[in-house]
Structure 1
């Protein structure tokens, strides 16, 4: 399995942010702005938003024009599990789960389906990386 933290160092790494939002009080916005400021190429995903930080938002992972390297989750656990099923169908096996996005059922699904995953804050793990 590929180390997700090492993937952050690759210049061609792209990240889909599931739960990206324009609400500055939410982590979906804080994380999006942090990764964008660091120079990562991002795909914001949220079926309820049109724009995040002046970027067009994709309503689902299947509508992103290219396969993202990492799918980062900033949504409640029940949404995480639903979107993980889409990841499996799309072959998106590198997933990053922010604090608060998991339950034992989520972890079981990840392990049973052999996802390459990390449960940690991507802002912390990327703090010394810029593109």
Structure 2
């Protein structure tokens, strides 16, 4: 999983599918996590033209194919499994290199597809700290950033 974390956090940009203005939703919390860590993040939400975090509004994109630079954007997914597979297929077609499937966004078929089709797919229970549900950016993101940073430092010595 360390290699997947390096790949995911080595992207120049990030996007959050399922981002929302609703502070009680995980899509909102994950988007805020990226902002708090000063990572360039784009909210994906096909039903809202923008989302609000605090007093600031962020324009959304409707889908992975609408991302400005999909080939250099890692995608966090916080959608129901019924939506996730179609989202993954579009992300693959757009050239997204890495995905992070948040707890509740996947089933076994989705994990298998993501691991087969992307350079990196973070999902499932192998090593994550989010109880029995697997890897979560809110809990495991710091570890991922540190892993990617160590890799970047070694590569640039």
The TM-score with structure 2 as length reference comes to: 0.72
Q: 1:38 maps to which residue?
A: 37
- Cα distance between partner residues in 1 of 2:2 and 2:73: 11
For 1:46-76, what per-residue CA distance to the aligned partner results, in whole angstroms no more than 9, with x for missing partners? 1011212211011111112112431110111
Aligned to 1:59: 62
The answer on 1:125 being equivalent to 2:140 is: yes
Bigger mean CA deviation after superposition, 84-93 or 21-30: 84-93
Look up the match of 1:17.
16
Task: From the two aligned structures, give the one with the greater helix fraction.
Answer: 2
| Equivalent residue number for residue 84 of structure 2 | 80
**TM-fit CA distance, 1:8:** 6.1
- Counterpart CA distance in 2 for 1:38 and 1:29 is 14
Larger Rg, first or second structure (1 or 2): 2
| Gap change, CA 1:58 and 1:83, over 3 Å in 2 | same
8 Å contact 2:19–2:45 — kept in the other structure? yes
- Determine the C-alpha separation between the residues in 2 that align with 1:110 and 1:9: 17
Count residues in correspondence: 130
1:105 to 1:9, Cα distance in 2 relative to 1, 3 A:
closer
SS of equivalent to 2:87: helix
| Matched ranges for 1:98-117 at <5 A | 98-113=102-117, 115-117=119-121
Task: Report if the CA contact (8 A) 1:15-1:42 is conserved.
Answer: yes
Task: Tell me the equivalent position of 2:28.
Answer: 29
Give TM-score scaled by structure 1 length. Answer: 0.85
Structure 1 gaps of 5+ residues are: none
Runs (4 or more) in structure 1 with deviation over 6 Å come to none
Aligned residue for 1:6?
6
SS in 1 for 2:142: coil
